[in-house]
Amino acid sequence: LSTAMRPAGYMSMLRAVSFSSSSRQRRRLAHSVAPLPFEADSLQRLVSARSFRRQRAYQAKLVDKLNLILHDSEFQHRPLDEVVTSTASDPQLAECFNHASEIWNLELYWSRLTPGGIAPPSELLRWIERDFESYDRLVEQITAHARGIWGSGWTWLILDRRSLRLRVCNTFAGASSHPLALGLKPLLALDMWEHAYWYRYRGDREAYVRAYLDLVNWQAVSSELIATANKVDEHAKLKYVIRIAMDDMQSLQMSTVQHGTVDLNELPSLARLQLMDERRDDLSSTLVGAIREVSSELEALPSVRKTSTAALHSIAQELRGVKSR
């Protein structure tokens, strides 16, 4: 940051070490404010340079206070996300959680921005269209959630690792919950505290949210989404593929799978879907568990057609044949 951009508390952004009074050894502070790859006046549509400096100074004070709270504690040198998950829902650690979670949220908030924004790549748009129908509908959901916060809080775009679905949700000021503590993967975090939008937008939360989304680096969101999806366990991936196949069977006559085409007038075959390798008998039990879970989910939906039920019975029959060989 240039000299003109240095806010109060700026030294907390620069300090990387502290000294133990007993050992005199150099030790890293638990946390610091990460620098941003743009200038204070680069996001004028969203936030003025003055407000930007004010918000960054506030973040620096939070970091200073958190380091004091963590000093000589079991969390002192843990990553910030671990501090958040370890202290959530524990009233005795509320002060630590409040500071750690707010700092983590702010880091994600700022890191997703880039001057001018970067449009969603095609791969991300496929996920968005599957879970929200369109990018415009996603924006509408985010805006509706942000407007619906009573008081202050955060609006999130998250990936549910269990279902591999994108969702929008809120967390509220004073609550001890956080997406990280619930095993969810935050992809976007919109700051809905008044200091984030009041000076530029007054009470117009929708204008603020749309301005933020226009400046998001959606390529970074896409990269993190794909990286997270690739790390989930095989059981979750199988459920995802089976669920997608069921969705396709309700709306399509033909489905392209990898480099081949499956005629959905015929009941599906795991081998044809390239989900079953006859040399891998150990896959059958994993698939059985995944299919049972998806079957239960589908049966709970009143709109599920008989095609889906028949498809699951066909797959189950194939699995029984594999297990008996």
Q: Alpha helices, DSSP H only, in the chain? A: 11-14, 49-70, 80-87, 94-111, 122-132, 135-147, 194-201, 205-214, 218-231, 234-251, 283-299, 306-324
Cβ contacts of 110 within 8 Å, gap of 6 or more: 36
Structure tokens at 228: 């997270």
Per-run averaged pLDDT (10 residues), the chain, 325 residues: 40 34 43 92 94 95 96 91 94 95 97 97 95 97 96 96 94 90 97 92 93 98 95 78 64 46 47 50 62 67 54 59 50
**pLDDT at position 253:** 43
Residues 6+ apart with CB under 8 A from 309: 295, 298, 299
For 6-17, the pLDDT digits (tens) are 344 433 333 332
> What's the pLDDT score for residue 28?
52
> What local confidence, expressed as pLDDT, does residue 2 receive?
39
CB within 8 Å of 219: residues ≥ 6 apart: 118, 121
pLDDT tens sequence across 222-250? 999 999 999 888 777 777 777 666 665 55
Q: Is the whole-model pTM more than 0.75?
A: no
Instruction: Tell me, rounded to whole angstroms, the distance of Cα 308 from its chain centroid.
Output: 30
Bridge partners of 27, per DSSP, are 18
| pLDDT score at 213 | 98
Each residue's pLDDT tens digit, 145-174: 999 999 899 999 999 998 899 999 999 988
State CA 190 to chain mean position distance.
12
Neighbouring C-beta atoms of residue 156, cutoff 10 Å:
23
Of 78, 116, 115, 111, nearest to 96 (Cα)?
Answer: 78
Residue 199's pLDDT is 87
Residue 32: partners with Cβ closer than 8 Å, 6 or more residues away: 12, 13, 14, 15, 16, 63
Which residue in 175, 177, 179 sits closest to 187, CA to CA? Answer: 179
Query: 213: which residues sit within 8 A by CB, 6+ positions away?
Result: 139, 142
Q: Which of 57, 66, 42, 101 is nearest to 195 (CA)?
A: 57
Buried b / exposed e along 11-25 (16+ C-beta atoms within 10 A):
ebbeeeeeeeeeeee
